[in-house]
Structure 1
Amino acid sequence: MTRAADSRNSLPERHATLYAGWLLALGCADAAAVQYSEGPYTSIQVNVDAAGRNIPGDAANETTIAINPVNPANIVIGWRQFNTVTSPDVQGGWAYTNDGGANWHFPGTLPSLEGQLRTDPVLDVDSAGNFYYQSLAHGSVKGTSVFKSEDGGKSWQAPVHMFDGDKNWMIVDRTGGASDGHIYSTWRDDPKGNNFIRSTNAGATFDAPLKIPVEFGFGTLAVGPNGELFVVGRNELDEYVDEVPSRSTFHPYFFFKSENARDASATPSFSVQALNMGGAAATFHGGRNPNKFGTNGDAQVAVDRSKGPMRGNVYVLANLDPPGEDNLDIHFIRSGDGGKTWSEPVRVNDDKPSADHWQWFAMMGVADNSRIDAAWYDTRDSGNYKVSRLYYAYSWDGGVTWSKNRPVSPPFDTHVGLPARSSKIGDYTHLRSDRHGAHIAYAATFNGEQDVYYLNVFPDCNGNGTSDVRDIESGKASDANANHIPDACETNRLAGDLDGDGDVDRRDIDLLLSARNQPASGPDDPRDIDGNGTIDMLDARKLTLSCTRPRCATE
């Protein structure tokens, strides 16, 4: 059964109570697996029984996804699995598909010893299609290990111990060069002060852990076109915010680069620099926040490994606490010189700043045709910190400009179905990009409980329910200027139409004002209307004069 959601892009905040009532109506978990749709995008439940139906009474969160490069229809998703919501017994759940995500097989959980619990799942895959599942164990036997699957995620070999540490992340080198197959991992500092490890033999063994020379956490890794290794994370030293007792901030974000981790004979070393993301990482401890006692997601780093002109660009995306009343926004920066210098931060979410608008659990990927995909949880439509939905945006120009934000899931309450002694919906979600779109694994409560969903999103500027890339490749749409955007979507684009909705209105003015007094991103920045290199009130006045809707400056 498929339930279609309201496809409108926004809802006035006064309707938050209607959202709550709608959610309550969906809150009864039944035995039928349900697919939930928002426009052309369908979320398919992953943690299902052998008949493909929902398993009432369990909980699942903290998702990770990997796609087989040899057979892209073979996808594996991992998560934290609670067999009953009333038990704190958490294990490493996983499921696989061989038909591109239409149907999922959930064999159970990773092997564990008596009294052993599993958390912090991370999946990746090597160039040959072997999957790797990293899992942190607590309880009777502690430590982080990696499991390997050579059969598309159907089964897993015995675990190989990696290190003792928390908040781990892992990546496998798929560059095709000498370092292809290397496995890298970072984590928060362990008792010995270490936070990095490497395998140069496809996970059979791991080198001794070592220390990256800054204390950081809640980050990710990326491998460059030539095997360079990039790491990003937030400072672990927090600052307590007196006026907001439930909030701590962490500043700055750090960027690390290793040129020799790819060399199996060398001891990896890293350069480090602080990043200006336009705000600080924030953690909210209970109180009025969307993830109760969980985090807001990991800082994201990705690299363009295409054959095009943006090859080698490095990108960082993070949800952070910006200046002003807004609690969390999504900011993006880019480097065109391997991380030596960085652009000014760009705000990716295009809503009007508000204390009731939370953008969190940010995800990012880069496709082999240079498109950047970003997705996140967002409360803008409900005005209620408990009720989020997934939003999606993409960029074809290296993150200089972004598409209009689009909701890609129905709303859901992130405060229901919380597992025993784990008052959160996990600490992160995960996205992988391919040339046609992005593949997302995320947790939601459409069934009145925490479940895992697979979602395929894609650029669809012409609204025909098919990826713009497929339209152009198949000849259904023309792209005369080869910018990956169907010509029909650009023919009537108005000067000053910053959000691409076909008119110049208050929303465009708000987008310009949100970047006021910032330098333009370049000579073609559409917000710098007077061309003086700065986005300022002169630009806002000129834009107001070009409004195509009556009274747009005051509506």
Structure 2
Amino acid sequence: MRNIQVNKRGLQAAIYLFACIGLFLSCSRKTSLVFKDHTFKNVVIDEGRSPSAPCEPSIAINPSNPNQVSAASVLNNYYQSNDGGLSWTKERVTSPYGVYGDPVIRYDYSNNVFFAHLSNPKDRAYSSEEFLDRIVVQKKQFNGSWNDGSFPPCDRKKDHDKHWLAIDKNSGVMLMTWTQFDVYGSKSPDDQSNILFSKSMDKGITWSEAKVLNQSPGDCLDDDKTTEGAVPEVSAKGNYIVVWCRDSKIYFTKSTDQGESWSDEQVIAQQVEGWSMDIPGIDRSNGFPVIKVDKSTGKFNGRIYVSFADQRNGKDNTDIWLIYSDNEGETWSKPVMVNNDEGRAHQFFHAMDIDEKSGQLFVMFYDRRSKPGTNATDVFLAYSVNGGSDFENVMISEKSFTPEPTLFFGDYNDLSVVPGQVRPIWTHQNGNTLKVKTAIVSY
């Protein structure tokens, strides 16, 4: 009887062990999204030939009405769709302060769409001292007209460039960060670049006085040692957080008092070979960071994500990386590679957004894995359903293209996500023609 009892206990232990293993595997198993249509229909939003070809696109889905999608491209092109991105209308945006590229399109949660851009008040660009003297933000309702625009108080004798916007759902605050150059392009060691911050509490009518966020200034060469690529966000606890690049590093700072004061800059990642990278066929390419926060009710609520590109695996193997923090930026994870190719290929010009309901994370990027040894370029979408621990990758472009460095190709693409809908936007080159495209991605 004793032997029988021992065997029963052994059997019970074995059953318990296998149950625990099964539970572990079930919890740790990657889960793929179920896309409604795996063809990922591509839509041409605009096209044109040099020197005024559209590029450097930005896109935003109206969170209050996902059928309404807005987009923009250089220099002053604005597009909108009333059917989720299947068809588009186009207009040229004007302002007394000029409209000169670096478009950033964002919606708030009151059906307002904002268009942030560079200034050109005298309409003479580089031949005018007033060129780049401020960052302008224009506003309208979807079917309305653009206002003249507003801008943060700043030193207008200096040059202001490479801005980005973030709008918080809970407070309605709009944050903006950008780079201030003493003299853009100057080689003088006396001229500096710095990261500036401003906020609007009244839907872009007025802005706070610009504040410098960094302690270590950069040069003015618009290169690796320039402080650039600043992106703001609001954390799940309501703190303001900002990331940027300089000298082969990713920097982070935080404000716990609504932007009145800021923590000392913190290096949160190394960016091997710097943010200005050489990509064959592209006249210039950057690996600027993107920052997003999980504000869902899921298990990763509060997690701060930062993505960036670098060449730590070789100058012929640019990759996209993700780090995250679960304690408001005090400590950070080790980098996770977003692209899952096994060869040596370039992934670049990434953008990132998050499903605010589920917390699912999406990253888009150009990708050259499909035709090794060539510059043939596709567009991929990576997604993570487990808090950025790993990523699935899918190709969303219908046709490869081979860029030539003779055209200005822009500095970035963009991505917008609302629950169930993903709208990427990118530039596609065909000879001397540039096209701005999106893909219809639903899940």
Report the TM range for the smaller structure's normalisation. 0.7 to 0.9
Counterpart of 2:395 in structure 1 is 406
CA contact (8 A) 2:233 2:293 kept: yes
Choose the corresponding residue for 1:305, options 295, 319, 344. 295
Report the alpha carbon displacement of residue 363 of structure 1 after superposing the two structures with TM.
1.0
Which residue identity lines up with residue 79 of structure 1 in the other structure? S
Report the alpha carbon displacement of residue 430 of structure 1 after superposing the two structures with TM.
0.6
Counterpart of 2:179 in structure 1 is 188
Counterpart of 1:291 in structure 2 is 282
Counterpart of 1:198 in structure 2 is 199
CA contact (8 A) 2:173 2:200 kept: yes
- The answer to whether the aligner puts 1:349 opposite 2:349 as a matched pair is no
Separation in 1, partners of 2:437, 2:396: 16
CA contact (8 A) 2:56 2:427 kept: yes
- The answer to whether the aligner puts 1:135 opposite 2:117 as a matched pair is yes
Deviations 1:287-339 (A, max 9, x none): x62422x2234211110010122111001111111144543111111111111
Note closer, same or farther for the CA distance 1:253–1:370 as it changes in structure 2 (3 Å cut).
same
Separation in 2, partners of 1:268, 1:409: 47
Note closer, same or farther for the CA distance 1:301–1:225 as it changes in structure 2 (3 Å cut).
same
Counterpart of 1:253 in structure 2 is 250
- The answer to whether the aligner puts 1:272 opposite 2:265 as a matched pair is yes
Counterpart of 1:45 in structure 2 is 44
Per the alignment, in what secondary structure is the counterpart of residue 301 of structure 1? strand
CA contact (8 A) 2:340 2:392 kept: no
Choose the corresponding residue for 2:434, options 450, 461, 469. 450
Separation in 2, partners of 1:325, 1:149: 41
Separation in 2, partners of 1:366, 1:303: 8
- The answer to whether the aligner puts 1:166 opposite 2:161 as a matched pair is yes
Separation in 2, partners of 1:125, 1:407: 24
TM-score normalised by L of structure 2: 0.77
Superposition pairs for residues 56-135 of structure 1, below 5 Å? 59-80=53-74, 91-111=75-95, 118-135=100-117
Separation in 1, partners of 2:86, 2:112: 21
CA contact (8 A) 1:277 1:332 kept: no
Which residue identity lines up with residue 54 of structure 2 in the other structure? A
CA contact (8 A) 1:252 1:280 kept: no
Report the alpha carbon displacement of residue 40 of structure 1 after superposing the two structures with TM.
1.1
Separation in 2, partners of 1:155, 1:109: 10
Note closer, same or farther for the CA distance 1:97–1:379 as it changes in structure 2 (3 Å cut).
same
Counterpart of 1:322 in structure 2 is 312
Note closer, same or farther for the CA distance 1:374–1:132 as it changes in structure 2 (3 Å cut).
same
Note closer, same or farther for the CA distance 1:99–1:181 as it changes in structure 2 (3 Å cut).
same
Higher relative contact order (CA 8 A, sep 6+): 2
Report the alpha carbon displacement of residue 454 of structure 1 after superposing the two structures with TM.
1.9
Per the alignment, in what secondary structure is the counterpart of residue 41 of structure 2? strand
Separation in 2, partners of 1:194, 1:218: 9
> What stretches of structure 2 of length at least 5 have no aligned partner?
1-36, 183-191, 218-226
Separation in 2, partners of 1:105, 1:303: 32
Superposition pairs for residues 304-453 of structure 1, below 5 Å? 304-324=294-314, 326-354=316-344, 357-368=345-356, 369-383=358-372, 386-415=375-404, 423-446=407-430, 449-453=433-437
Counterpart of 1:245 in structure 2 is none
Separation in 2, partners of 1:223, 1:92: 28
Report the alpha carbon displacement of residue 401 of structure 1 after superposing the two structures with TM.
1.6
Separation in 2, partners of 1:203, 1:78: 18
Task: Give the % identical residues.
Answer: 23
Deviations 1:164-209 (A, max 9, x none): 51111122222x2xxx222211112332856112222221111211
Separation in 2, partners of 1:451, 1:251: 32
Separation in 1, partners of 2:321, 2:343: 13
Per the alignment, in what secondary structure is the counterpart of residue 413 of structure 1? coil
Which residue identity lines up with residue 184 of structure 1 in the other structure? L
How many matched pairs?
372
CA contact (8 A) 1:93 1:108 kept: yes
Separation in 2, partners of 1:414, 1:352: 23
Separation in 1, partners of 2:62, 2:237: 21
Report the alpha carbon displacement of residue 227 of structure 1 after superposing the two structures with TM.
2.3
Which residue identity lines up with residue 108 of structure 2 in the other structure? D
Report the alpha carbon displacement of residue 226 of structure 1 after superposing the two structures with TM.
3.3
> What stretches of structure 1 of length at least 5 have no aligned partner?
1-37, 48-53, 81-90, 236-249, 459-466, 468-555
CA contact (8 A) 2:290 2:307 kept: yes
Separation in 2, partners of 1:428, 1:207: 27
Which residue identity lines up with residue 438 of structure 1 in the other structure? V
CA contact (8 A) 2:195 2:228 kept: no
Choose the corresponding residue for 2:243, options 232, 238, 246. 232
CA contact (8 A) 1:69 1:128 kept: no
| CA RMSD after TM alignment | 2.5
Which portions of structure 1, spanning 4 or more consecutive aligned residues, are displaced by more than 6 angstroms?
A: none
Deviates more, 1:163-172 or 1:374-383: 163-172
CA contact (8 A) 2:48 2:54 kept: no
Which residue identity lines up with residue 133 of structure 1 in the other structure? F
CA contact (8 A) 2:276 2:286 kept: yes
Which residue identity lines up with residue 45 of structure 1 in the other structure? V
Report the alpha carbon displacement of residue 400 of structure 1 after superposing the two structures with TM.
0.7
Deviates more, 1:400-409 or 1:435-444: 400-409
TM-score normalised by L of structure 1: 0.62
Which residue identity lines up with residue 100 of structure 2 in the other structure? R
